[in-house]
Structure 1
């Protein structure tokens, strides 16, 4: 018969909070084992206190409150120190829930003054009194001595760091949190370490480094309780909202069931506030107000949670106001409130640079305001287009102000802000590259008839979109006021930058040394005509017909809207077009005012200047040409052979990739060193996922995301495929798609079609295009002469 296992005495050398800071699950299991063994009153009080703190960490504050009352009663027979320990823990939980009961002087009478001050500091932070919280935590740190429990210094530093984050004392916060993390690691406080990582994530979110914030939140989830994992998901959703990614934020909130599933009062309040901000970001003002009022009703009027709920209500009212504000600051502050961190303190307060920029806009000092808003962007164009929502709000106000003041130069400078630029380095994130390969494999299997792969495509697409917020940085901005460079480099061209401002389509024209701004037509009318014209052109191609009367009529109407008022300023010059979001799908060369004219389409003036510099240096590049075609394209082999023959006739080495050699991996290795690339394949472009625009090759699709991983792009890239000249606007207004991805990696010129391509009919025009280019004709001229009627665009410079 097996002998009974000896009872293990409960270790009371560490206080209950330290045991929980190591491992809540192990601490609770041990405490419950002790209670089952009929311990002495001291061990019983210690075990009950441990269980109560665990219950709080597990998201059951009501049960924690009851258990800690029992712990205090059991401790009464042991001594005042044990009683005080249980009572302090219970009162701290009440304070975290927004209730009364925590008094600094009362707690400071007990032996452990540092622990009492920690709880006072946490309570002050919960009420939004962050300066007082920092003072209490600093005083606590001064009282740390040899007898202080080992978990207390890192806990003090962790809470001090978070309070400093919301006081915008970022460098001090980073030092405090780094020190807290070192202490938690060295003292093997695994659970407390996850809390420090969560606070570090909040710091990075405040800095605007969303990718690092999400990484820290995910790391903190390992070994955490369900309650903390939900809190981390809420913080992650808040960071995504601040990055201007409301759909990703919604998915993160829904991953644990949404606000109603958040559990205890604090978790549910945070989830409701983030959900309210998400609804407000999506324009659902009434639902946002209802959520914010639910939070405010549950907390004392002086609590941080009630104040934060009030700011969401205020923001909803400001953004819904029909009359324009007296200045930029009120409207901008309202937009910033939507994205302010849930734990932010005091009044709605943008960063110092944002506040200064708003004030400068209000004073009409546009150039100075733009300088205050200059910032780095993620390297991925899609991520960059979703970031900096507060700055975009200020920029939108700057455009409105400059337009109202008739300051065309400042309108152009504001339009340049946030539009995509060139990356400094190719993406080298292996995890993200792995997701891309999984998505490619799912597409390949779906093409082969694997029905299960269809479901995987959506999954991996969503994962890929969210994961591009990693640390892949672009070059520092080179300045948004590009007017002097344009005047030097445009020569006889005219640049037309379109935008939507307060519901109207406007155009800034730079030509002949002048800068003018024109209000064209209501944006809704322009969008309707763009859709009609694009549809008519596509249908005529798909039906194999010449342009019908309907298409000709819509072309005349749209050309009159977009170019009629600019006729005098533009004249008969070659044109550089920077499209507005509502005009990014147009085959511009099919509009009557632009037929036969050299037209370059670029995301922005800065992008055109960069591409023009590349195109101008093309003669210095000695790399070969790459000609590749994918499977099942009628006439692809003949077209590839013709293009290769023309290029070889011009003295250029031309490598042909066909059949098993025409793979994505081979292309990603060959394209960076190529001077010219001619890619033939079935093309696809879905407006809702523009960076999944792709050409199909032997091992699957070559995505626009793949282009962002190139170390360099060919100086001239021609995409002989359907749709890939189209783009879709990001929230910033910057166009996203295959063409813009190649431009961002250093291409000077990308030739691609915005409409379906008749495969067998394009070979002759392509041959004539290459004969013209190889004999010195600029690409834009060659496109106008030979390819524009087939829907092709000259993207970049030409």
Structure 2
């Protein structure tokens, strides 16, 4: 209702304010850690062990029905227990105002859904404008083509698929983005959270940061930098993951533990400034708090991350889909990427679509060489994507 009233006023600043009120309240309400709970602490390892047994049974062809039932039951108990726990700490800050955003040379584009239309708020050089980008139906139809094309191009680079992706990207670019040759801060809505922005022509080689809200970007951008310490780990079942992790570890002159477990990775996440994880990723659309990274003793799930006292400043996840969040209740986001941001990560590089294992290593090595040389994560990703000149699904989320 607030958005509708703001739209009738015709003032872009009013629309921005009401948009941020919704986003900030739904995205920052879990910014503090839930209290330690013995029951939850015992259920998570049980879930991990069950998932590990289930994967082994599927590989060997053994019966799985009892294990599947046990996994569902454990997930139900964890979900119900988490609902009973109340987080403690300070309430989230008020939504940011346009005058408080220190964008520098960046342009902010924030998208809002209202009555079947997608509106674009653009803030550049202190001036905010509002325009209609298209209908939700029109944009969703275009957005559906992107993961289809990327998924099939990764298997077989057919000319007709390249043409479809190129045409779709040009149309989305025309509808969504202003004609500015400057770094972008993008605040998506709905299905736009799943768009790999680097495929759009005007984003080629340009630093693009995707943030769930302008308030979250503002908060993350103002955090003081932490010590540059690095940790690297890989999961099982991907031929190139271990090789990729070792190459990244060599760039930062650190080690990569063999057969990394969930406890190994949680320790790294709680102590290092930057963490790189190469593993199978799974977005669980029906139960997003059980979206997971597969490690050598089972899955690391959202609930594990929520219980950390501290998370890295920068997280890089070379794992299918984990940069994408499930959009619920209008603007609320659930998933691994959203949880890292809620817990205090300033930025995250991850794909929003499935990515081919064989091609990911080259991109990650190119990104980390630039991080080592002092590039920001968004610029490191943009330059690496331009250098390799292959469409991929990685985005930089946060600040």
For normalisation by structure 1, the TM-score amounts to: 0.46
State which of 276, 301, 321 in structure 2 corresponds to 1:723.
Answer: 321
Contact 1:426 / 1:710 at 8 angstroms: preserved in 2? no
Post-superposition shift, 1:402?
0.3
Aligned residue among 517, 531, 544 for 2:144: 531
Partner of 1:414: 18
- Report the CA distance between 1:464 and its aligned residue: 2.9
Number of the residue aligned with 1:475:
90
Indicate the residue corresponding to 2:6 in structure 1: 402
Instruction: Structure 2: give runs of 5+ residues left out of the alignment.
Output: 58-62
Residues 246, 255 of structure 2: 8 Å contact kept: no
- DSSP 3-state at the match of 1:423: coil
- 1:349-364 matches, within 5 Å, as none
| Secondary structure, aligned partner of 2:90 | coil
Of 761-770 and 490-499, more deviation after overlay is shown by 761-770
1:18-57 deviation line (CA, Å, top 9, x unaligned): xxxxxxxxxxxxxxxxxxxxxxxxxxxxxxxxxxxxxxxx
* Alpha carbons 2:367, 2:384 under 8 Å: kept: yes
Partner of 1:510: 123
> Which has the bigger relative contact order, CA under 8 A and spacing at least 6?
2
Q: CA deviation at 1:533?
A: 2.1
Equivalent-residue separation in structure 2 for 1:517 and 1:427 (angstroms) = 42
- TM-score after normalising by structure 2: 0.90
Distance 1:474 1:457, change over 3 A: farther
In the alignment, the residues of structure 1 paired with residue 34 and residue 104 of structure 2 have an alpha-carbon distance, to the nearest angstrom, of: 32
How far has the Cα of 1:630 moved from its partner? 1.0
Q: Does residue 112 of structure 2 align to residue 499 of structure 1?
A: yes
SS at match of 1:472: coil
Quick one: structure 1 residues 481 and 781, their matched pair in 2 at CA, closer, same or farther if it must change by over 3 Å?
Answer: closer
- Indicate yes or no: 2:265 matched with 1:658: no
Structure 1 runs of 4+ with >6 Å offset: none
Contact 1:714 1:747 in 2 (8 A): yes
CA gap of 1:413–1:532, structure 2 versus 1, over 3 A, is same
Distance in 2 (alpha carbons) for counterparts of 1:454 and 1:735: 27
Alpha-carbon distance, 1:513 to partner? 0.3
- State how far apart, in whole Å, the 2-side matches of 1:494 and 1:430 are: 46
C-alpha displacement of 1:715: 1.2
Report the 3-state secondary structure (helix = DSSP H, G, I; strand = E; otherwise coil) of the residue aligned with 1:444.
Answer: helix
1:485 corresponds to which residue? 100
Which residue of structure 2 lines up, in the alignment, with residue 595 of structure 1?
204
What is the aligned partner in structure 2 of residue 621 from structure 1? 227
Distance in 2 of aligned mates of 1:748 and 1:577: 15
Larger radius of gyration: 1
Deviation at 1:538, TM superposition (A): 2.2
| Equivalent residue in structure 2 for 1:604, among 213, 220, 229 | 213
The reply on whether 1:671 has 2:295 as its aligned counterpart is no
Distance 1:601 1:734 in 2: 15
Within a 5 Å distance, the mapping from 1:60-209 to structure 2 comes to none
Distance (whole Å) between structure 2 residues aligned to residue 518 and residue 667 of structure 1 = 44
CA contact (8 A) 2:181 2:202 kept: no
SS in 2 for 1:762: helix
Cα gap change, 1:792 to 1:404, in 2 (>3 Å):
same
Report if aligned partners of 1:542, 1:756 keep a CA contact under 8 Å in 2.
no
Alignment of 1:705 onto 2:310: no
1:641 is displaced (CA, Å) by 1.7
In the alignment, the residues of structure 1 paired with residue 8 and residue 35 of structure 2 have an alpha-carbon distance, to the nearest angstrom, of 41
Match of 2:43?
Answer: 435
Cα 1:666–1:399, aligned 2, differ >3 Å: closer, same or farther?
same
Cα RMSD over matched residues?
2.0
Cα distance in structure 2, aligned partners of 1:415 and 1:592: 28
Q: Which runs of 5+ in 1 are unaligned?
A: 1-396, 649-653
Structure 2 partner of 1:541: 154
The aligned length equals 383
Pick the aligned partner of 2:169 from 555, 577, 581: 555
SS of 1:712 mapped into structure 2:
coil
Instruction: Note if contact 1:626-1:657 (Cα within 8 Å) is conserved in structure 2.
Output: no
2:205–2:385 CA contact under 8 A, matched in 1: no
